[in-house]
Amino acid sequence: MKFSKLGLIFSLSYLGIFLLSGFYAIYLLVFHTANSEFSGLLGIVVTFPWSLIFLPIINSLGFVAWYDQFTSNPAVYGFFGMLGLLPAALLNAVILYFIGRLFGGAVKKENLGNEISTPTPANVDSLWKKFNLFFWIFFFLSIISFSLIFLPTAQLVKYISIASALRMIAKVGSIIVLSYFGYVITQKRQYLLLGLLGLFSGMFGMIGLIIGYIVLWHGRKNLRLG
């Protein structure tokens, strides 16, 4: 299996940022004990959204209670605290690798002679089917995460971390899907900007996704007519 250079750059760069957030957390615990309650905040942000899903699970398994015994040794305590975020970091690194692989593959094909610069109807139809699959998955995730805010307050507090995680997954996924398929279907760089429509939140976010879908559908239609 040949590894993607761009994917490895994305993945390793992210893991480097995660490692730095761990060093920063330990630094706060050791040298700035007054601000130690904020030591893990950066790590949680860096590993978002999976940290919101994994932390309650890790806590329920007793891992947090176990490493509380090391509170007298801030460096060891910080190490195990960041170790609890490692699964979330690895998952994000894998996702970033495949994002880099997708975009790297598209750019490589263009640089090797514009092999898909004039897509055939069969190629366009195949890409359009893949786009529809991923688009509607992330669209329905957006609907689910948006609908959770209408839960009663007591239930909303209970599911707020799940709603936030789903919202982030849907947002990041929508940006990637619209940008990537917008480019590979039309072979026009301006369609990479379709991903910006995935940045909106709530009802505006779903409207933005529908607009992006219509724009790409129109671009595909023009290709077929051309």
Q: Which domain holds residue 37?
A: 5-87
Residue 137 lies in a domain: yes
Secondary structure string (H, E, C) spanning 137-204 = HHHHHHHHHHHHHHCCHHHHHHHHHHHHHHHHHHHHHHHHHHHHHHHHHHCCHHHHHHHHHHHCCHHH
The pLDDT value given to residue 116: 45
Residue 136 lies in a domain: yes
Q: How far apart are CA 217 and CA 223, in angstroms?
A: 10
Q: How far apart are CA 34 and CA 82, in angstroms?
A: 19
Task: Judge if 69 and 160 occupy the same domain.
Answer: no
pLDDT tens readout for residues 32-59: 776 666 677 778 888 877 777 777 778 7
Residue with token string 């790409």: 216
6 against 34, higher pLDDT: 6
**Radius of gyration over every alpha carbon of the chain, rounded to an integer in angstroms:** 21
H-only helix segments in 32-152: 41-46, 50-60, 63-67, 74-83, 86-111, 121-147
Tokens of 198: 């995935």
pLDDT tens readout for residues 102-153: 766 655 555 554 544 556 666 788 888 888 998 898 888 888 877 766 667 6
How many domains does one find in the chain?
2
Q: What integer is the mean pLDDT of 55-82?
A: 82
Task: Judge if 121 and 201 occupy the same domain.
Answer: yes
Is the predicted pLDDT of residue 89 greater than 70, yes or no? yes
Task: Judge if 130 and 63 occupy the same domain.
Answer: no
The pLDDT value given to residue 172: 79
Is the predicted pLDDT of residue 1 greater than 60, yes or no? no
The pLDDT value given to residue 36: 64
Residue 184 lies in a domain: yes
Residue 43 lies in a domain: yes
Tokens of 106: 């598209």
Residue 103 lies in a domain: no
Task: Judge if 196 and 139 occupy the same domain.
Answer: yes
As a whole-number percent, the residues of the chain with pLDDT over 90 amount to: 1
Q: How far apart are CA 85 and CA 196, in angstroms?
A: 29
Residue 34 lies in a domain: yes
The pLDDT value given to residue 110: 52
Task: Judge if 217 and 123 occupy the same domain.
Answer: yes
pLDDT tens readout for residues 192-203: 788 777 766 566
Rounded (5°) CA angle 40-90-181: 115
Q: In the structure, what pLDDT confidence band is assigned to residue 84 with cuts at 50, 70 and 90?
A: confident
